[in-house]
Structures are given as C-alpha cells and as structure tokens.
C-alpha cells in the first residue's frame, strides 16, 4: 500500500527537550511538507522540501528544523526554542508533474510538551 | 501574501438536507487551485473537491459541489443529502504554484449533521 506514515501517533516530552517527528512516504513524491494544527484552527506551514537536500521555511519555521537526506523521509525536529510546541503535526507529500494537484496527508502526530 | 477566510466557525444541518459552507480568499496570482478538505474525528485530512482557477465550470463530486466566483474570490462548498458521516471539520485551501505548491488554509468550519 502506498502512503504516508507518521510515528508515533502520540508523543510526550518535557519542556527543554528536543524531539523529532518521523514522516515517511512511499509514493515516490518529490515534495514534502510539514504543517502544524492548533485546536479549532487551520493548518499552518512549517517547512517544505521540493527535492532531496533542499528545503524552505514556511510561515512558522522558528523553533523547528528539518532534514531531507532521502526522498522518502522528511523528519521534523521541534527544538527547545519553540515557545509553544504542543500541537498536532501533519506531514504531506505531492508529486511535481503537471498532472499532480493533490497533497496527500499522513495520519498526524499529537505532541504534548509539559 | 495569500489569505483564506472561513467566516462560519460552526454549522449544523439535518440529515438529508443541504448545507453550504463559505470561503473567501485573496491572491495576486491568476493561476491557482482551490480545495476543500474534510477532517473527521480521526484527524485524517481527506480531499473532498478541487477547482482549477482557469476553469469556469464549477466542480462536482457526487453530493459535493462548489460555487466558484473568481471575480469575487469566493469558493463555497455545497453538500447535498447530508449524511451522518459528513460530520467533520471542513477546510478551504488555496495552492500557490510559485511557492513550492504550498497550501494556505482557512480556519475551518465544524459541521455537525444531526439525525
């Protein structure tokens, strides 16, 4: 089955610790995205990558970092510099051909920092 | 900068009736896509329908249809014959071709379908 996996589904961390969220896709998509969702709100873009070894900041990149060493993987690190890290995090991917129009989303990771 | 606004935080509809969700947007681009996504309690994002800005004809997918008014920058979603399974958050989104195909989302509308 092709798709996007995010692990774990729920993640708990103590304040001051860095934490890395996993995102893997086997759709052979070039582009990958990380979004943050707060309760009752829409999604906001954190980072995106259109090709391996390259990525761009989104609207709310402060306190986050990413890497794109492999086409299939786009991990997100929530650093201790992120002031309010508790949120729901969604990863997405998309093909880059002219026929590709849809971003496919993973199931998400709920991060709670106390 | 692009913006997407959904002015109805919550709506409810009786099963089998029709409901319309509103969305307005702002962009300086002439070529773009608009989407409606559904997020049920499982929180999985599901694409409901899409509209290409260059197409004048409104998109339709079974019970879901849109009213796309390009000049007014309006993009509403009509759900006909509402079903209990339609209960979810609905998000309007705009795709920017120039910025890595990123999506800009509205704040969402929580739809409750009542039996």
Query: How many angstroms away from the CA of A29 is the closest CA of chain B?
Result: 13
Chain A hits for B45, Cβ within 8 Å = 43, 90, 92, 105
3-state helix, strand, coil in chain A (%, to 5): 0, 50, 50
Interface with chain A: mutation pick from B103, B104, B108, highest number of A CBs within 10 Å: B103
Chain A hits for B52, Cβ within 8 Å = 101
Please give the share of chain A, as a percent, with pLDDT higher than 90.
Answer: 82
Report the alpha-carbon distance of residue A69 to residue A51 in Å, rounded: 10
Q: Answer whether B82's CB lies under 8 Å from B14's CB.
A: yes
Report the alpha-carbon distance of residue B43 to residue A91 in Å, rounded: 12
**pLDDT, averaged across chain A:** 93
Q: Check if A60 contacts B (Cβ < 8 Å).
A: no
- Give pLDDT tens digits for A91-106: 999 987 777 778 999 9
Segment B95-103 shows an average pLDDT of 80
pLDDT of residue B1: 80
């Amino acid at each position: 089955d092709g798709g996007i996996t995010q692990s774990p589904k729920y993640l708990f961390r103590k304040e001051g610790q860095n934490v890395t969220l996993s995102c893997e896709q086997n759709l052979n998509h070039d582009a990958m995205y990380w979004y943050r969702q707060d309760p009752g709100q829409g999604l906001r873009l954190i980072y995106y990558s259109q090709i391996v070894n390259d990525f761009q900041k989104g609207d709310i990149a402060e306190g986050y970092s990413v890497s794109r060493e492999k086409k299939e993987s786009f991990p997100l690190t929530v650093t201790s510099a992120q002031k309010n890290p508790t949120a729901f995090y969604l990863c997405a991917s998309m093909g880059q051909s002219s026929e590709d129009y849809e971003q496919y989303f993973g199931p998400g990771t709920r991060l709670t920092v106390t | 900068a692009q913006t997407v606004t959904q002015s109805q935080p919550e709506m409810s509809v009786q099963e089998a009736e029709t409901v319309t969700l509103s969305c307005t947007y702002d962009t300086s681009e002439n070529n773009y896509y608009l989407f409606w996504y559904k997020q049920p309690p499982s929180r999985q994002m599901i694409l409901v329908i899409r509209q290409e800005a260059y197409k004048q004809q409104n998109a339709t997918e079974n019970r879901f249809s849109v009213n796309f008014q390009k000049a007014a920058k309006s993009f509403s979603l009509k759900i006909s014959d509402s079903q209990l399974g339609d209960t979810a958050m609905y998000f309007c989104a705009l795709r920017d071709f120039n910025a890595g195909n990123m999506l800009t989302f509205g704040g969402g509308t929580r739809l409750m379908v009542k039996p």
